[in-house]
Structure 1
């Protein structure tokens, strides 16, 4: 019988393994994993999942920082025809519980070190899900990934998978406060992956970094692009400037992707001069434009070629690319659309705007999500006039380059994470002393935008910034907790009683200066 033709995410690994199984696929510290082993181990995990009572289409969540085992588990889930639901490992237990329940998950794969932490020791069992520990190294004890795959076949599971089937749900914070699950098919992610490979010219000889979290769409799409081309992926568990510099040098990384703040930390680190970074051919920065002075120094002292990549979870990245040969441009220039999708500027009536006109940035293409899981209203709202609406304002310049002009959504983008202001406000309002809270993002050299709160207390009540931050730790992730809380007597209001956040932003632009 002929094997059914498959164009799915799992096929990326299998095809590279067939071309050159002995080539290195993953590097992590002193460990190496070949394409043949990655293909076989992910096949084994797929067999385990299918033999455990789960069915194709079931949701499997993952809560883990970067590791080789993360990659094995993710591709095993996809090869089993199940739906991969990666969860941000920096979220609070309350937020993780919401996502797992909303996604209707049947199993959770969690990093063993994270699961053993006191904060998660009780929280994970309380989810009521079967738990498999994703342990690194030689840990093959009960309930681990290593034990699960032991003895399973290394060949592909006999499944007829559909490229248009739901492959993954990535949750992204929305302005309503609750995260929304962006559903992607195998086809939509593959479209982005192949576009990325072409855009940055990945070849088999490349070594790509995985410094950003693999549970985010940006890093996963770049890592998958590398795996599709037979390149190696150098994995960092987290960001520590000294450790990452050592990894870039040891693994002879050729293509690195990181946040502007990460590049700044590496540039300024005293150990940088002792590491040979000459293998770097391209450095991509994501999530935000780079300060011109920092970019100039990085191009002189870190890597001669820098590029900006942009995108959204709903439109698998990259959607817009700012190439190295245009880095003389300054300001919020985001570049041009990548090969996979169309990008336009639209007014509120659905009219596409020309050069010099400001409107909402919209996209369309095969990398678009299927919709938001269990949220048809939000799906319809974001697909008006046949385009995906980003909630960002932009403008084309005379040369056809996109410039970012602001945000329609009340969303704070801090350190590469999306933080809805309403989520933080709700947490602050849960404190018995707080009467009114307004949260905005203010310019910050390290975080791009810093979560900043302005709070009015109830008459006769007392609280300080430290106690309010401590209160927030119970419901918010670390990156969502305000960097600064100002306790004020009143807030600027409209005549109808709405808080004028634009006034707060304008009057406190220099709060974090210096």
Structure 2
């Protein structure tokens, strides 16, 4: 079943001719160079022409299943070529893509399916094999397709459903501000919210990324992070806009990444700081040919100075930090290669071409250099709003700017991140940025990762408290770590307690989740006296 373009007196509306739609840019890249390899996964290679045809078959199959433009389609999938076909097929059919993080618990999976009112599910066979997942999906919406496997129950085979359909693109009316996807927040601050992004915002972000990273058809990049996450999704799309090649990986393995750099002559590599360090320190790295790398991108966390200097000297000559968020589709701010060795700390850099960035106080006044306030943005990559949450949407748009919830300050023309607004620890009448405490702890030679939070305290209101993960084989106790902090922090900034833990709660993309720490340890100081 297809939807035709509406006309008035035989004349199509402007949107039918000048529309901006995610699927259109894939078609154009395929038309320019159909034989060019778009994706590599292990021994598999998929050209732009073949990929475009499979996407159209998928779109036709979805419409033939009775879905109509605007229906929500959930994907519960890890990285694969089939997943890429599915997400673009959903967009091309005019449906709304609702990706679910496969690392979420079943309660959150149920919540997203119910909250989004999904009518169809595309799921990996390995995930559907789990009894709790199967029970949830069979309950609602109760139908869908299985990727990379045979069908079961009311779920048909994804490949079989595509094979029955033509490779001609369906005629579907799409407007640039139609919602293309509802991507639920990672849950670092609580219950996920559904972020609605339009075709226009995603396309603008992708084109912006192609320009900011200088991408061309000659580039080869990796997709190691989950494709259901906004960062990897927007980077992948930027590469497709440029006609580049993407090496898809099912997870991070330093050997697999190093092999791919050599075999595919990768020129652009994306990873979290810990991934870059693992590649640098791998015993086979010194004898690898990494000369094809021209640019490496890191995200989610700052890079320690000693590590960054080693990476630039030994791994890749150009490093860049990119930031953004699901609500303001990435990339929004970039700390460029020429700045990397000029200043150190939590610098985010400058705005990208697609949006404006400013720092604002609580009264809506834009602040000047040296003044700390909330980081705000304006631009076409802003979300349409939070699904079914008009109050949160209105709050995010106060004073005509999108509010990120991050605190920042302009220093010498560069934006410096100070903290999440809710992660600013208020202790004894003083404000302590948690990121400042974490940065000091990460300078300790035994510390691999750290998180600082404020916990309820009878005297200090909130007590600065830190949790650290030690490097393999390293040793450090609370006393030595506190002494290290005393050497680098003001008295009120030093943690009242530091716990060494095996691991920190993390999202699938490497963000530390602080709210579980606050909840688990909220009574840590109950025995303290107010006078102490």
Same fold (TM over 0.5): yes
Q: CA deviation at 1:178?
A: 1.5
1:13 to 26, 29, 38: 26
**What's 2:478 paired with?**
none
**What's 1:510 paired with?**
none
**Contact 2:267 2:292 survives alignment (8 Å):** yes
Q: Does structure 1 residue 255 correspond to structure 2 residue 290?
A: no
Deviations 1:416-471 (A, max 9, x none): xxx9x99xx9xxxxxxxxxxx9997756688xxxxxxxxxxxxxxxxxx9xxx9xx
- Superposed, 1:298-447 pairs within 5 Å as 298-328=311-341, 329-398=343-412, 400-410=413-423, 442=467
Three-state SS of the structure 1 residue aligned to 2:258 is helix
Q: Return the alpha-carbon distance in structure 2 between the equivalents of residues 105 and 483 of structure 1.
A: 32
Q: Does structure 1 residue 40 correspond to structure 2 residue 53?
A: yes
Shift in CA distance, 441/235, structure 1 to aligned 2, threshold 3 Å: farther
2:296 to 283, 290, 306: 283
Can you give the 5+ residue segments of structure 2 that lack an aligned partner in the other structure?
Answer: 1-9, 425-433, 439-450, 457-461, 472-498
**What's 1:179 paired with?**
192
**What's 1:452 paired with?**
none
Q: CA deviation at 1:490?
A: 3.0
Q: CA deviation at 1:493?
A: 9.0
Task: Tell me whether 185-194 or 249-258 shows the greater mean CA deviation.
Answer: 249-258
Tell me the TM-score normalized by structure 1: 0.80
Deviations 1:59-99 (A, max 9, x none): 00111111111110000000000000111111111111111
Q: Return the alpha-carbon distance in structure 1 between the equivalents of residues 219 and 203 of structure 2.
A: 19
* Structure whose CA Rg is larger: 2
**Contact 1:140 1:146 survives alignment (8 Å):** no
Q: Does structure 1 residue 25 correspond to structure 2 residue 38?
A: yes
Shift in CA distance, 409/149, structure 1 to aligned 2, threshold 3 Å: same
Shift in CA distance, 165/489, structure 1 to aligned 2, threshold 3 Å: closer
Three-state SS of the structure 2 residue aligned to 1:249 is helix
Task: Tell me whether 268-277 or 257-266 shows the greater mean CA deviation.
Answer: 268-277
**Contact 1:340 1:367 survives alignment (8 Å):** yes
Q: CA deviation at 1:343?
A: 0.2
Q: Does structure 1 residue 196 correspond to structure 2 residue 209?
A: yes
Q: Return the alpha-carbon distance in structure 2 between the equivalents of residues 334 and 478 of structure 1.
A: 16
Tell me the TM-score normalized by structure 2: 0.78
2:124 to 99, 106, 111: 111
CA RMSD, 1 decimal = 3.5
Q: Return the alpha-carbon distance in structure 1 between the equivalents of residues 88 and 292 of structure 2.
A: 29
Aligned residues, how many? Answer: 453
Three-state SS of the structure 2 residue aligned to 1:318 is strand
